[in-house]
Amino acid sequence: MIEMENAVVRYPSFELDCSLQVNEGMITGIVGENGAGKTTLFKALLGLVPIASGSAKINGQDIAALSLADRESIGTVLAESFFNDIYTIKDINRLLKSFYRKFDESYFQRKCADFHLPKDQKLKEFSTGMKAKLKTLTALSHEAQLLILDEPTSGLDVSARYEILDILQDYLVDHPQCSILISSHISSDLEKLCDDIYYLKAGKVLLHEETDRLLDAYGVLKVDEEAMGQLDRNFLLYRKRTNYGYDLLTDQRLFYLENYPKLVVEKPTIDQIMLMIMDGDRL
């Protein structure tokens, strides 16, 4: 569905150099701290910023060659882009109906009602959560086969985030061939939703792994200087200095549990894995 190969976007003080793949029917997550390049990556895929070198394709076509019909099959949420604050949901309904040939008006209105979004109230009077829900609904309401969602849950409380994640999962059930590329700085959100996750830092992919493997195979070893010198280092990825010695990230937790029974080996969350990569030294 999406294939990026060494796609480079250059700014005066930042460079994105990214390869990734999103398969049909899959939900792929992009995580990374603010400034990692998530939004630049999404804009490159949508043709909003130029790609200096490399390639970016959707359904086998270069993004520059996508037809209007191809672009209509993509639903998007961009963090800093939305309708004018003077619009109401009725206005947006009318605009979406004119923009998209496959706009599902009954779905849009039903979901707005489910989210208790007032039809006649101007967007400037909406809360952050109401705007986030409306953004997501506009992306889902025209039979999109690809969703590109940049931080759709940003700034929301836990309840509102879960509502949006739930509607995305429901959409994929009803549209099994649809693919979703979604970014968030809240790794735990993506843990519940995504089939695989990319970790982006300073414009580069430092980690790509299936979510299940991140949760099942990765581990953090707690060691002092003496234990550090006795370890097999073949399966160690990152090292972080601590008061007692080191935290060590591995993608072979069972190997160390079986071969070093006295060693403290923790099963980390995805947030802990990302923090190890963010703050640790690569081995």
Residues 236 and 117 placed together within one structural domain of the fold: no
The end-to-end CA distance of the chain, in Å, is 33
> Per-residue pLDDT averaged across 206-228, rounded?
94
Residue 161 binned pLDDT confidence (cut-offs 50, 70, 90):
confident
Q: What is the mean pLDDT of the chain?
A: 92
Greater model confidence, 163 or 16: 16
Residues 271 and 199 placed together within one structural domain of the fold: no
Predicted local confidence at residue 96, as pLDDT: 94
What residues have CB less than 8 Å from 176, skipping those under 6 apart?
A: 25
Predicted local confidence at residue 1, as pLDDT: 87
pLDDT at 155 exceeding the cut of 80: no
Q: Which residues of 116-128 are buried (b: 16+ CB within 10 A; e: fewer)?
A: ebeeeeebeebee
Starting at the edge strand found earlier in the chain, the sheet holding 2-11 runs 61-62, 53-58, 2-11, 14-22, 204-210, 196-201, 27-31, 179-184, 146-150, 74-77
Predicted local confidence at residue 8, as pLDDT: 96
How far is it between the farthest Cα atoms of the chain?
Answer: 69
Q: What is the pLDDT of residues 28-46, one digit of tens each?
A: 999 988 888 999 999 999 9
> Cβ of 36: how many Cβ atoms within 10 Å?
23
Predicted local confidence at residue 187, as pLDDT: 78
Predicted local confidence at residue 6, as pLDDT: 95
Residues 37 and 70 placed together within one structural domain of the fold: yes
pLDDT at 207 exceeding the cut of 90: yes
Cβ atoms of residues 28 and 18 within 8 Å: no
CATH number at residue 99: 3.40.50.300
Q: How many CA atoms lie within 13 A of 139 on its CB side?
A: 31
| Angle at CA of residue 171, ends 48 and 129, nearest 5° | 70
Residues 144 and 266 placed together within one structural domain of the fold: no
Residues 206 and 273 placed together within one structural domain of the fold: no
Residues 48 and 175 placed together within one structural domain of the fold: yes
pLDDT at 221 exceeding the cut of 90: yes
Predicted local confidence at residue 150, as pLDDT: 92
Tally of domains in the chain: 2
DSSP state of 159: H
What percent of the chain lies above the pLDDT cut of 70? 100
Last residue of a domain, one of 165, 184, 213: 213
Domain that holds residue 250: 218-282
Predicted local confidence at residue 229, as pLDDT: 87
- Please provide residue 247's backbone torsions phi and psi, each rounded to the nearest 5 degrees: -100, 135
> Cβ of 188: how many Cβ atoms within 10 Å?
13
Residues 35 and 167 placed together within one structural domain of the fold: yes
Residue 254 binned pLDDT confidence (cut-offs 50, 70, 90):
very high
Residues 98 and 172 placed together within one structural domain of the fold: yes
pLDDT at 142 exceeding the cut of 90: yes
E-only strand ranges, the chain: 2-11, 14-22, 27-31, 53-58, 61-62, 74-77, 146-150, 179-184, 196-201, 204-210, 219-223, 236-241, 246-250, 264-266, 281-282
pLDDT at 188 exceeding the cut of 90: no
Residues 240 and 202 placed together within one structural domain of the fold: no
Residues 264 and 126 placed together within one structural domain of the fold: no
**What pTM did the predictor assign?**
0.90
> Per-residue pLDDT averaged across 87-92, rounded?
94
Residues 163 and 232 placed together within one structural domain of the fold: no
Last residue of a domain, one of 161, 192, 213: 213
Predicted local confidence at residue 251, as pLDDT: 96
Residues 66 and 97 placed together within one structural domain of the fold: yes
pLDDT at 163 exceeding the cut of 90: no
Predicted local confidence at residue 73, as pLDDT: 93
Residue 156 binned pLDDT confidence (cut-offs 50, 70, 90):
confident
Greater model confidence, 10 or 155: 10
